[in-house]
Structure 1
Amino acid sequence: MKRNALAAGLARALACAALLPASVAWSQAIAPDGSADAADAKQLDTIVVQGEIAYRDRSDAIAPTLSYDLEYFQRFEPNTVGDMLKRVPGVAFVGSDIMEFDGAMMRGMAAGYTQVLINGKKVPGAGDDRSFWVDRIPAEMVDHIEILRSNSANRSGDAIAGAINIVLRDAYAFDGSYLRVGVNRWFDGEVNPTFGAVTSGEALGGRILAGINIQDRYRGKLKRSDRFADPSMEELVSWEDQAEVKDGRDYSANLSYTADVGESGRLSIDGFYVKTDRDVTEVSHEVEYDDGDVIESRVPGLNPINQKNWGVGAQYRFDMAGGTTEFDLDHARFEDNSAESEEKHEYVNGEWDASEAESSAISASDAESGFRVAHKRPAGAGELEFGIDYRSKKRDVTYANYAWEAEQEGDPVTYEADGSIGSLIEETRVDPYVMLSGRGEVLSWEAGLRYETTRSDIRYSEDGEIEGSASKDYHMLLPSLHLKWDLTDADRISLSLARSVKRPNFNELIPAVLDGEYGDNDYVGNPRLEQETATGIDLGFEHRLGKHGVIGVNFFYRDVKNLIELVNTGQWSEDAQDSYEDDLEEFLDENPDATEDDFEFEPESWLFTSANVGDGKVYGVEFDLSTPLTSLGLPDTGVFLNYSYLDSKVTDFIGERRFNDQARSVYNVGFIHDLPSLGTSFGATYRNQGDAFSRIVAEEVMVKYGDDLEVFVEKRFGSKVSVRLTAANLLDASKDEFFNKFDNQDDQIDRDFDEYEVESEEAGPSYQLVMRWAF
């Protein structure tokens, strides 16, 4: 099977190679302070006709940082930041649908352990776990991506796994204009356009950059589920075939303005806007076998998505009192007005039996505002930085539920209100910090302290009526220390020690009962949860290979305290209580002389909550290589390789396991070869993500992803036009999930299965043709 898939993938790759399209590359000069010098700005009006290959940058930051320019990824024409991040070390995507990359997981830990920043600032996102879906940001808006492996005092400490800083294009760093026009073709024949434009130049006493991007987002996939009585797979209980189509359009724009003020001041204003309009349609055919009866169901579903992300920020930096003072002001907002509905029309032995439907609508607004003042000044042979961060967050979410049940076949679907639940979470943070650093010819160091304080207020409502509230204060001192030894001009060792935190997920804090949240089990939040904390160590070695190449290895360890996991409260669910009352009444009717004490009842569902259950450990090694093959006489060939081995330990109610959803490993390998005399380049990349396992009360899941092969070919025409063809998922990878389901915790421990399910989804190869025109 694998051999046939690989052969098919290579055949598709050779077919693409015959068409020969192209690419764009720019060069950028960065000033010693990290900002771009306008005199050396990237020229957007010039396509580098020699097809120079871009490699991973070697960062001068003292804290362990990997930096990747857009040019590093651009040959494979990524559509989103998610498409870019799947190529960097240690980033996995477990839970994402096949060919989708939304919740980035550094070190394989859940997305909520990874902090995502835009231009160094926190942004709200769709995830209940405080994560930001990185596929919301188009790749064309990005200048470079930084992988921050450890905390520093001048950044928020909620990044146990690390942080990803998405740096958007800056007016001071670019000059010129270009257009990007392309089409995508999917395995089912659907063709979708994409369009982007960027322009930058002098205006209003400074420099302005503006960009827009419009792309149709489409994904069709096929899913198959087979459900058995137990893992022996001897008794088939039911099966389901499903076709799903995600069809929509993303609109995005970014704006940057930079101006020098006086002799030392610089004012920068930036903003971004992303709007997602998408319809997800599903049609399922289910068949269940029950005591000789065949129960068939037609299950259509619709999920219209309407989401917006936007943010604005202003920064003013100037010399003052022998140092440099900086003021930052930012505001970001996420809005979600989406809905989801599913109908079920059931037939028993070919005869109509029932029709029902459920629908829910979400109205969510998550706003976050921040103000920061910081001052840097010389301190002996080093530099002192101190400041204070203020952040205010308001998350207002309401879920409205609707239901319908038919009286006879063919009745129209007319939904009736079935309750609503809402929550309002307000958080206020005041985080002072101080940091001292020094740079020497051999040794550079950075030491800092950050004191994070958070006031959290929670209110929740049901059917529009306030049901309760809770408050919680958090206080945490976060020290950090980074050392960097430049042993030679080519060799570097880095060591980092830092403390970090993970705040509870939003729904974990809301003390409202959610009916049937985990199968038949109910869930109630716990506003008394403490933050998870971690003490982390990173030890790395990096070696420069010639002029452009770099090879690095990094060992990491995180000792996590106050781990938050799902637990059983021991209380019955609402369904179990109702069943108890009904069964008790029937028992007493049948046994007039009996009492309630004579009645025996075993509940099949419970009330779950979240609790701080103990400690965990996360560790692994990350390796990356990015270099031309000049030493082998192939200066026009670049190779790229990264591999991460990921592991962890946590003890739950059954025993020892890894952190939930942590992939065992993830690696990428690829090459790019340039033919300067022909103005042509081509390349390929191969990605593999290891298996991931998760275990919660009453359910265990193993997730496996197939291997991913991508190729590109390009052709350049003069210095203004390039054309590139890319092909993705050439091995037609699948996402396979294996579910062990139980009625309750006792059955799970005893391995008394309720159901064993095998689910697989595929989306087929896709192709993208893009033309760029600089002017």
Structure 2
Amino acid sequence: MPSLPCPAGARAPRPSRLALALVLAFASPALLAQQAAVPADPAAKPADAARPASAAKPGNLTLDTVQITGGQRSEVDARRLSTAPKTVIGRDEINQFGDSNVGDVLRRLPGVTLGGPPGRPGGDVRMRGLGNGYTMVLINGERIPPGFSIDTLSPEQIERIEIMKAPTAEFGTRAIAGVINIVLREALNLSSTEVKLETSVEHGRFSPRASLTRNDRFGDGNAYNFSTSVFHSDQLTETSTRTQTFDTASGALLADRNETARSIGERQGLHLGSRVQWRLAGGDQFVLMPFLFALRGTTDTRSQLTQPLGTAPYATSHTDGDNSDANGRISAQWQHRLNDDGARLQLDLSLGGSENRNKAARDEFGANGSQSRTLDTDNRSTDRTINNKGKVSLPLESGHSLVAGWEVERAKRGQTKTSVENGVSQLAGFGTETDSTIRTLAGWAQDEWEFSPAWSAYAGLRWEQIATTSRTAGSQSDNTSSVWSPLFHVAWKPDESTRDQVRLSLTRSYKAPQLGQLSGLPTLSVRPNDPSNADSVGNPDLKPELATGIDLAYEHYIGRRGVTSIGFFQRRITDLIRSVTSFGSVPWSDTPRWFTRPENVGDAVTRGIELEARASTDELWTGATPVNLKASVSFYRSHVDGIPGPDNRLDQQPKAQGSLSADGKVAGLPLTLGSGVTWTPVTVVQTSPTQESRSGTKIGVDVFGVWAFTPASQLRLAASNVSGRDYLSGGSIVAASGITQTTSTTQRTNPVVSVRWELKI
């Protein structure tokens, strides 16, 4: 880890000031000079000392105790009063940049990045730079449904986002990198209607969107919330890919291929979400939460391939794609008061289902225009899920709060894959259908203990078992894994006259194999099979990745809304899962083919340092114009045993990432302006002794302006991905056959400009 020098003759800064200095250095050197002279806020008071030790703490570990009413004060308090490390993002920040999908909101949050090119939705959500599967994403405390893409959620449907850098027993421990819990809109005891009409334009293509949110009361103390949005998306994707093949021994170039592709994609979608809340006799409560999402999309892709050296497999290609996705879930929750001392019982039941279909027809043509190859693929999947969970909360004496619960889930998936090349089925002798069942059992208990105004601790234990059965072509494979996860969190306030605190977490977490990684039904490459376009197939014998972790952080609170923090984390992982590319005989083909297969390859370690600062200038300097400043920067290191360095890192993990934003109202005008930037440097990963992957620098620059005509009506103008940088990606593989193949893809990205009218009735 790099050292942080201190100038000669100067005292080493406090950790909180050091974090603020490092992070806000991106914003303004003048801020740093004045920050050192900022006096302690005389209005700050030790709020914790005035709160009884046994009182419920807002923003703590259980969903039903979280009551965020909006505004930065409540969100900062929720963070400060939680024993486990937690950050709460409220509606003000969610709506700040006028994003059209929740993915754009997430990528600006500290320590969170998205895969894929900048300015485009659809990338997997990553915390601490770790790739798909290491971050547990929840919606209302439940794992996201199979096949559900998080970027399809509309920000208008979200009440708040909770980020937990270390797992807890209640939410689950499939969270080596951390937990992101997206809480949908809540029913409030007020009547309001919000309407938003928007259109965005990217490279001359328009994408309109409209949303409606309604909140009202009915009966005696009952309330409901209803939100819906519809959208149409029209996007152009342009890529250029160069593939080179070398003789490994001599380095001689054997083949050089360049392909340019132009794809037009259109999507139409509908979201419906609601929360209906009944207050029952005796303080009980019943909540019903239905959710529905539907999407339909088409793509038209045309490419040209030139190969000055070697024989080209085709000269041009044309691919028509058609996909549809429907996802629905209904959840019910009953909260029952057991006694007058605060003991409660909560029962949850949810039913969900989804259907997904992807069809593609690809035609390839030779240089003379004659058709050389046709390929038709059709992939369909249906998922059905039932989940039951419950918990009992018992406030005890001496500041203890004991919570215990269970979870039972059964998910069933049916999947069909067909691939017909030149009129011949490629899977005819292997099988095209698979049925899978996943059964999850979990039991957990946690005790949160506030034994003095300066100390609070949390101890938890969770046991979870996942059993998977998959049937393909008359064969059956079974996989069962179970994990015990002890968890410990402690928060210490060194000085009771301030709100500063130190956090320590010791945890055990894991990453379960995904269903597709266990399935024996292969996915065939749509392009001519080679090392860069390999088939993929699962491995039913995979074991889960286990991780032991430590998190240590120092937080310094400034005034009512500001906070700076510096933190360190480490995870030691065993049974790491990696996809390995090989060439050989496969059951689904009469000839050897290139294919990738996940395997447990060994152990790994990842560690990092994270810096964050949030402050308002009027709380830093008396009389300053209020400007909200948010910044973060993180540095990551990792290595995988058994793979040569120097880039033997965990998949997709960059060495660093950062973000910076500023916004505020213009004095004398009903105008709010803001801007933000996110940054991820070049990432090179040696995934195996013979394979390497690479992705280029990602810089996202966003700006917005909001003009308020009345308190209930305003116009928003925003631009995202202003820099419009090309996105680079690629990799290389050294094959046992004596060749080395490298690929390099450049994808053009464009600025996106949007205009939105927002009305409250």
TM-score after normalising by structure 1: 0.82
CA 1:606 to 1:723, structure 2 compared with 1: closer, same or farther past 3 Å?
A: closer
Counterpart selection for 2:514 from 479, 491, 505: 505
Which amino acid counterpart does residue 616 of structure 1 have in structure 2? Answer: A
In structure 1, distance between residues paired with 2:591 and 2:378: 27
Shift of 1:396: 1.9
Show CA shifts across 1:92-146 (max 9, x none). 22335753253101111112111110011112232xxxxx532021111001101
CA 1:79 to 1:359, structure 2 compared with 1: closer, same or farther past 3 Å?
A: same
Shift of 1:89: 1.4
Secondary structure of 1:328's match?
strand
Answering whether residue 661 of structure 2 is matched by residue 675 of structure 1, we say no
Q: Which residue of 1 aligns with 2:46?
A: none
Shift of 1:704: 0.9
CA 1:385 to 1:610, structure 2 compared with 1: closer, same or farther past 3 Å?
A: same
Counterpart selection for 2:472 from 448, 460, 469: 460
Q: Is the 8 A contact 1:174 1:209 kept in 2?
A: no
Q: Is the 8 A contact 2:354 2:382 kept in 1?
A: yes
Q: Which stretch shifts more, 513-522 or 638-647?
A: 513-522
Show CA shifts across 1:391-431 (max 9, x none). 111122211222337xxxxxxxxx97864522222121221
Q: Which runs of 5+ in 2 are unaligned?
A: 1-54
Q: Which residue of 1 aligns with 2:305?
A: 286
In structure 1, distance between residues paired with 2:290 and 2:589: 51
- Structure 1 residues 742-757: aligned runs within 5 Å: 742=734, 744-745=735-736, 747=738, 752-753=739-740, 755-757=741-743
Please report the RMSD computed on the Cα atoms of aligned residues, expressed in angstroms: 3.0
Q: Which stretch shifts more, 713-722 or 500-509?
A: 500-509
- Structure 1 residues 417-436: aligned runs within 5 Å: 419=428, 421-436=432-447
Answering whether residue 760 of structure 2 is matched by residue 771 of structure 1, we say no
CA 1:608 to 1:222, structure 2 compared with 1: closer, same or farther past 3 Å?
A: closer
Q: Is the 8 A contact 2:585 2:591 kept in 1?
A: no
Show CA shifts across 1:435-486 (max 9, x none). 111123111111011111222211113xxxxx30022222211110010112
Shift of 1:173: 6.7
Q: Which residue of 2 aligns with 1:626?
A: 614
Q: Is the 8 A contact 1:53 1:638 kept in 2?
A: no
Show CA shifts across 1:512-540 (max 9, x none). 56666865766553222211111111111
In structure 2, distance between residues paired with 1:507 and 1:333: 18
Which amino acid counterpart does residue 572 of structure 2 have in structure 1? Answer: D
Which amino acid counterpart does residue 269 of structure 1 have in structure 2? Answer: L
In structure 2, distance between residues paired with 1:654 and 1:353: 47
In structure 2, distance between residues paired with 1:519 and 1:233: 19
Answering whether residue 185 of structure 2 is matched by residue 176 of structure 1, we say no
Answering whether residue 653 of structure 2 is matched by residue 641 of structure 1, we say no
Answering whether residue 124 of structure 2 is matched by residue 103 of structure 1, we say yes
Show CA shifts across 1:595-631 (max 9, x none). xxxxxxxxxx566543322111111122211111112
Show CA shifts across 1:149-203 (max 9, x none). 111111222111111100011113764111101111112x112211011111112
In structure 2, distance between residues paired with 1:624 and 1:732: 27
Counterpart selection for 1:564 from 545, 570, 577: 577
Which amino acid counterpart does residue 191 of structure 1 have in structure 2? Answer: F
In structure 1, distance between residues paired with 2:685 and 2:194: 46
Which amino acid counterpart does residue 473 of structure 1 have in structure 2? Answer: T
Q: Which residue of 1 aligns with 2:159?
A: 143
Answering whether residue 372 of structure 2 is matched by residue 358 of structure 1, we say no
Counterpart selection for 2:551 from 538, 541, 554: 538
Q: Is the 8 A contact 2:654 2:683 kept in 1?
A: yes
In structure 2, distance between residues paired with 1:741 and 1:341: 29
Answering whether residue 401 of structure 2 is matched by residue 383 of structure 1, we say yes
Q: Which residue of 2 aligns with 1:122?
A: 143
In structure 2, distance between residues paired with 1:53 and 1:345: 62
Secondary structure of 1:627's match?
strand
Q: Which residue of 2 aligns with 1:200?
A: 215
Q: Which stretch shifts more, 563-572 or 278-287?
A: 563-572
Q: Is the 8 A contact 2:119 2:700 kept in 1?
A: no
CA 1:236 to 1:635, structure 2 compared with 1: closer, same or farther past 3 Å?
A: farther
Show CA shifts across 1:209-246 (max 9, x none). 10111122232122112233459998871211111222
CA 1:174 to 1:110, structure 2 compared with 1: closer, same or farther past 3 Å?
A: farther
Shift of 1:384: 1.1
Counterpart selection for 2:233 from 217, 235, 238: 217
- Structure 1 residues 186-585: aligned runs within 5 Å: 186-187=202-203, 189-205=204-220, 206-229=222-245, 237-290=256-309, 297-320=315-338, 323-347=343-367, 351-352=368-369, 354-381=371-398, 382-404=400-422, 419=428, 421-439=432-450, 440-461=452-473, 467-488=474-495, 489-512=498-521, 519=532, 524-567=537-580, 572-573=585-586, 578=591
Q: Which residue of 1 aligns with 2:15?
A: none
Secondary structure of 1:89's match?
coil
CA 1:621 to 1:125, structure 2 compared with 1: closer, same or farther past 3 Å?
A: farther
Which amino acid counterpart does residue 435 of structure 1 have in structure 2? Answer: Q
Secondary structure of 1:263's match?
helix
Aligned length: 683
Q: Is the 8 A contact 1:315 1:329 kept in 2?
A: yes
TM-score after normalising by structure 2: 0.84
CA 1:151 to 1:418, structure 2 compared with 1: closer, same or farther past 3 Å?
A: closer
